[in-house]
Chain A
Amino acid sequence: MLKRGLILLGCAAITGGIAYFSAYAYVVDKTPKKVMTRIEGRIAKAVGGFNVCKHNKTYGPRSGSVARANPDSIVTSMSYDVSDGPVELRGVTWPDYWSLSVYQHNTDNIFVINDRQLPEEMFHVIITPLGGAPDAPKGAVIVESPSLTGIVVVRRFVAYEDDMPNVLLNQEAMVCGSYMPID
Chain B
Amino acid sequence: MLKLLVPIAVLLASVLGGWLGLQQAKAAVRNVGDISSSFETSPGQWRFSDTVGSEAATPMERARIAIGGPLGLSATETIYFLTLEDSKGAKFSSTCEYQVSGGAFDARWWSITIYDGETQAYIANKDNRSSWNSVALAREAEGPWQFTIASKPPASGLWLPSQVEPSQSFELLLRLYNPSPQTRAKAPVLEMPRVEKISC
Nearest chain A residue, comparing its CB with the CB of B15: A19
Q: Are A97 and B109 in contact (CB under 8 A)?
A: yes
The 6 closest A-B pairs by CB, nearest first: A23-B21, A109-B53, A16-B17, A19-B17, A16-B13, A27-B25
How many angstroms between the C-alpha atoms of A109 and B112 in the bound complex?
A: 22
Which residues of chain A are near B71, meaning CB under 8 Å? 39, 66, 101, 103, 107, 109, 151, 153
The answer, yes or no, to whether A179 is at the interface (CB within 8 Å) is no
Knowing A4-B2, A65-B122, A114-B178 are in contact, say whether A36-B70 is a contact too (CB < 8 A): yes
**Cβ of A67: which chain B residues have Cβ within 8 Å of it?**
32, 67-70, 115, 119-121
Give me the interface of B with A, judged by CB distance under 8 Å: 2, 5-6, 9-10, 12-22, 24-26, 28-29, 32, 52-55, 57, 59-60, 62-63, 65-74, 76-77, 108-109, 111, 113, 115, 119-122, 124, 128-131, 133, 135-136, 173, 175, 177-178
Question: Can you list 22 residue pairs at the A/B interface with Cβ under 8 Å?
Answer: A4-B2, A8-B9, A9-B9, A11-B9, A15-B17, A19-B13, A20-B18, A20-B20, A23-B18, A24-B25, A25-B59, A27-B63, A28-B28, A67-B70, A68-B115, A70-B175, A97-B178, A99-B73, A108-B57, A109-B55, A109-B71, A116-B108
B74 neighbours in A (Cβ, 8 Å): 109, 112
- With A and B bound together, what is the CA distance between A17 and B122 in angstroms? 41
- A 81-121 binary contact with B (CB < 8 Å = 1; else 0): 00000000000000011010101001111101010100000
Contacts of A134 in B (CB 8 A): none
> Binary interface profile of A, 24-52, with partner B (CB < 8 Å = 1, else 0)?
11111101100110010000000000000
CB distance from B42 to the nearest CB of A (A): 18
